[in-house]
Each structure stands twice: as structure tokens, then as C-alpha cells.
Amino acid sequence: YKTNLMKQAEKIVLEEFPKKVLEFNNLLEVGTSVYGFISGTVKCNEKLAGLTDITRPLLRDSVEAVNKVKMWILFLIPRIEDGNNFGVSIQEETLSEVRTVEAEAASFLDQMSRYFVSRARLVTKVAKYPHVEDYRRAILDMDEKQFINIRLVLTEMRNHFATLHDMITKNFEKIKMPRNNNAEHMY
């Protein structure tokens, strides 16, 4: 398990993270402008639903990829010793960043699910009180806010993956071998 995970994590960092940056960036460029909606019947916002259907699997994959990288770094941390811990501190700093990305991606997934529940409550109010224009307006505002939130999520995830890739590749050797073998023979 451990050997396989180590190979997968290195491949993820070196090959998948740059692809994720491009995926999130492409979505930002093509699919996240804010649209106004015409009054009338309150239907599912197809544009928003489609964008969510594209974004949700990307976030799920991101959580899995980052989790593997987290385990890879954890497996590379050597036993605790006095001195010569500079490489270990690099591992810990990288691990902290990886955990942040994992937590934020999971939080973004949860946030996307809550949007549809909240919107459904408002649509129910519109059906119950069709003469109250504020409910319709609230749905439009909620949709606009969700477009902005998805754009923010895509931007954040793109930036996280770019940062993680940069941080890990710059410190790749120290992450893989936090202590050099000559340290024992220094004294």
C-alpha cells in the first residue's frame, strides 16, 4: 500500500496538479460569468446546475488527490530526533498547506450542496406566495451569489494547486529525504 501510494502521490504532484490548475482556470474563463434571470416561472437554474455538475467532481477528485499527497508526506516524515530537522520542518509546512487545501475543497463541496436546499426553500415560498415579488428577487440574488461563489471556489482551487505544485516541486528533495545521511557523521 505504502509503496504504491508513494508513487501515486509523486505522480499527482508532478503531473496532476498542473492539470488541475489548467482545469480550474479553463472553467473560470469559459463558464462563470454572472447572468441575470428573467421573471416568470421559477425553474431550476440550468446554467448554474450545469456548472455545479462540472465543478463538484473536480472538487471530489481534488480532495482525493490532496489526501494521497498528505499521506505521502506523512509516510516520508522520519522518526523524531534531536537536531537536523530543517527538512522535517519543510515537510510539516508543506503538510499544513496540503491539509488546508483538503479542508477547503471539502468545505466548498458542502457549500455547493447547501445552495440547492436553500434555493428549494425559496422556490417553495414562491409557489406558496406567488404575489410576493421579494421571494422571486431573493432567488435571483441567491443564484447570482452562487455564480460568484463558484467563481471564487474555482479561483481558490486553481491558486491552491498552483501553490502546492510550486511549493512541493521547489522542495521535492527535502520532502523526500528530509535528513541527509551525512548528518550522523558530522561530529
pLDDT recorded at residue 40: 52
What are the residue ranges of helices labelled H in 32-183? Answer: 46-76, 86-128, 133-170, 172-176
pLDDT recorded at residue 32: 53
Residue 16 has what DSSP assignment?
I
pLDDT recorded at residue 169: 95
Sketch out the chain's domains with CATH numbers.
2-33+41-179 (1.20.120.180)
pLDDT recorded at residue 159: 95
pLDDT recorded at residue 43: 76
pLDDT recorded at residue 37: 43
Mean pLDDT by 10 residues, the chain (187 residues): 89 91 85 49 81 94 95 91 83 96 95 92 89 91 94 95 95 89 51
- For residue 124, the number of C-alpha atoms closer than 13 Å in the C-beta half-sphere is 6
Read off the C-alpha cell for 125: 415560498
Query: How long is the chain?
Result: 187
pLDDT recorded at residue 117: 92
Label each residue of 52-69 as H, E or C: HHHHHHHHHHHHHHHHHH
Read off the C-alpha cell for 47: 446554467
pLDDT recorded at residue 29: 80
Nearest-angstrom CA–CA distance, 116 and 105: 18
Other C-beta atoms closer than 10 Å to the C-beta of 126 total 18
Read off the C-alpha cell for 66: 490532496
Read off the C-alpha cell for 184: 550522523
> 36: part of which helix (H) or strand (E)?
none
